[in-house]
Amino acid sequence: MTEQLVQQLLNWITLGSIYALVAVGFSLLFGVLNIIHFSHGDVSLLAPFLALAAVQTVSASVGGSPAVAAIVLSVLLAVIVTGLLGVVLYYLVIKRFQNAPAMMALVATVALGIVLRELIRHLYPQGSNPHAVPRLVPGSIEVLGVTIPAFNLVAILVSVLSVGLLFYMLERTRLGLHIKAVSQDRDAARLISISPARIFQITFFIASAIGAIGGLFFAGYAGIVRFDFSVDVGLIGFSAAVVGGLGSMPGAIIGSLLIAGLDTLVQATVPNGASYRLVFVFLLVICVLVFRPAGLLGRTIVEKV
């Protein structure tokens, strides 16, 4: 019983950590650009496909199984390329809607997500089929008589480290102050020689790279990746950001843990819970928004018209 409880708690924290990596990206982009980047989940889930392609290329070139160093290099390359792709998509699509009504940007990014999924499905080899993804960290360790997969521990540790570094950057560095300045008042930021365009580029790179880490861990946690996995991951990440308060990164973390906890609880206690988990998750989202429209840590903004 104790081992089963520990396993469920570990699943909860692991899923919450993975969801938080995606949700933080949503909140960061909304907080800086005031745009809902609805294709952020699709960008994040490109990383597993990029990593698989890199690993397969290495395997073909060496004529055998790639070394651990090659796998780590492929993962790092996937994160960096995904971050750069986020910047490219900002220039090609999202930049056009910065000063447009919010609904136009929302529709454009939804369409962008569909384009990305269809490109994977048609251009990636056997893109319509599931692709097996080995856990990045095999093996397990034993703690107080309980066997814990090493993958879960590494996923939690890397997630905490990534989010911690992001918070440190925002709170303690000059770049973080510039990002906050642009998010609060772009015109005032220009007056003190801060380039909003440069800050937008950096923000998209950071959010996309952190989301890529989440996408890689999600694929490793599931054991497979499909071109349409980004729909669920994107919706859950966005919902977590909304539950916590869109634009609040601490709120995104709290929302991720709440959603992951409910997800894990439903799968563990409800018969055939895996089929109904999203029903309960989105019921939670509805309930939070009914009683707290701005989210748990969000602030209600009153506009005079």
pLDDT in tens, 19-68: 999 999 999 999 888 888 899 999 999 999 999 998 888 777 766 666 67
| Residue 86: domain span | 2-291
Provide the pLDDT for residue 1.
53
pLDDT of residue 304: 44
Q: What is the mean pLDDT of residues 242-264?
A: 92
Q: Is the pLDDT of residue 276 over 60?
A: yes
174 in any annotated domain: yes
Q: How far apart are CA 291 and CA 170, in angstroms?
A: 30
Q: State residue 297's pLDDT score.
A: 85
Which one, of 39, 32, 28, lies nearest residue 162 by Cα?
A: 28
Q: Is residue 19 part of a domain?
A: yes
Residue 303 has pLDDT above 70, yes or no: no
Give me the CATH number covering residue 8.
1.10.3470
Instruction: For the chain, report the end-to-end CA distance as a whole number of angstroms.
Output: 59
Split at pLDDT 50, 70, 90, the class of 7 is: confident
Residue 12 forms part of a structural domain: yes
Q: For tokens 């880490």, what's the residue? A: 213
In a domain? residue 209: yes
Q: What is the pLDDT of residue 269?
A: 86
Q: How many domains does the chain have?
A: 1
What count of other Cβ atoms lies within 10 Å of the Cβ of residue 101?
Answer: 9
Grade residue 302 by pLDDT with cuts at 50, 70 and 90.
very low
Phi first, then psi: what are they for 132, rounded to 5°? -70, 135
- Which DSSP category does 76 fall into? H
Tell me the mean pLDDT in the region 242-267. Answer: 92
Q: Does residue 298 form part of some domain? A: no
Length of the chain in terms of residues written: 305
Q: Which residue has the tokens 């988990």?
A: 277
User: Does 255 score more than 90 pLDDT?
Assistant: yes
**Per the structure block, which two tokens stand in for 120?**
């994977």
User: For residue range 180-221, what is the model confidence (pLDDT) as tens digits?
Assistant: 999 988 889 898 889 999 999 999 999 999 999 999 999 999
What's the pTM value of the predicted model, to 2 decimals?
0.92
- Answer yes or no: are the C-beta atoms of 210 and 217 closer than 8 Å: no
pLDDT > 70: percent of the chain: 93
Domain presence at residue 211: yes
The Cα 291–Cα 280 span in angstroms is 17
Check if the beta carbon of residue 24 is closer than 8 Å to that of residue 253: yes
As given in the structure block, the two tokens for residue 60 are 């073909």
Domain membership flag for residue 302: no
Determine the pLDDT at residue 299.
65
Q: Which of 154, 135, 141 is nearest to 13 (CA)?
A: 154
Does 299 reside within a domain?
Answer: no
| pLDDT reported for residue 294 | 86
How far apart, in whole angstroms, are the C-alpha atoms of residue 215 and residue 175? 26
Centre a 10 Å sphere on the Cβ of residue 301 and count the other Cβ atoms it contains.
Answer: 7
pLDDT tier for residue 301 given thresholds of 50, 70 and 90: low
Mean pLDDT lowest among 145-149, 165-169, 251-255:
145-149
